[in-house]
Amino acid sequence: MKTLMLVAGIGLALSGCATSGPQTAWGKAGVSRVDYGTEVGMCTGLAATQKSGSNGSNTAGGISGSNNSVTPGAPGSSGSAEAASAGAAAGGGPSSAPTSAPVPAVGTYSGMASSDFAERAATQQRAQEMAAQRARSEALKTCLVGRGYQEFSLTAEQRTQLAAFRKGSNEYHEYLYQLGSNAEVITRQARATAK
């Protein structure tokens, strides 16, 4: 029984290793080691600078923009003291002037964001991160295809071998180069690229 559990554990560990690495790689038949490193590195750097086109930190919870509104009576607002005095003289008190608050002013903790507001902000942040990742992936693909590279699927055995190396190490990159410069591997494992 212990032997069966050991074999099952090793099988699960190996299958986990096989799926933990990248599913695909890029290659160009006969490319030199120097050109491979230079072109893949350049395209990776270019892709890393891509943005998704959103306004980044100025969007949260469904409210787009920056918090640059000035509250009457706040230091630095022009005529703030006069506006507060005028409101008080009219019988409305100093707080009768309308203000624009980015969060609802109701509930137990006035001025605190509701859970719905926080959920929308978190969902919007995740959507922006995913859009940025898609933009980086598309930029990498466009750059590599433009330089004659082709995407190919890695077999389970290749993924397992790649997982044996520390990601980013010389051995890791050398193994990817060996696969990516081999015309037979590229042809046999080529993926159809959508245009």
In a domain, 36, yes or no: yes
Q: Work out the percent of the chain whose per-residue pLDDT is above 70.
A: 56
- Average pLDDT in the 105-124 region? 72
In a domain, 91, yes or no: no
Q: pLDDT of 134-148, one tens digit each?
A: 999 999 999 999 999
- Average pLDDT in the 50-73 region? 52
Spatial distance between the Cα atoms of 145 and 149, rounded to a whole number of angstroms:
5
In a domain, 89, yes or no: no
In a domain, 126, yes or no: yes
Q: Which residues form the domain of 166?
A: 17-52+108-195
In a domain, 63, yes or no: no
The mean-pLDDT minimum among 14-23, 66-75, 134-143 falls in 66-75
In a domain, 86, yes or no: no
Structural domain total, the chain: 1
- Average pLDDT in the 61-66 region? 49
In a domain, 141, yes or no: yes
In a domain, 75, yes or no: no
Neighbouring-strand partners of residue 81: none
Q: Residue 28 is which amino acid?
A: K
The pLDDT of residue 82 is 46
Judge contact between 149 and 162, C-beta under 8 A: no
What residue spans of the chain are helical by DSSP H?
2-20, 33-48, 80-89, 115-146, 156-163, 170-180, 183-189
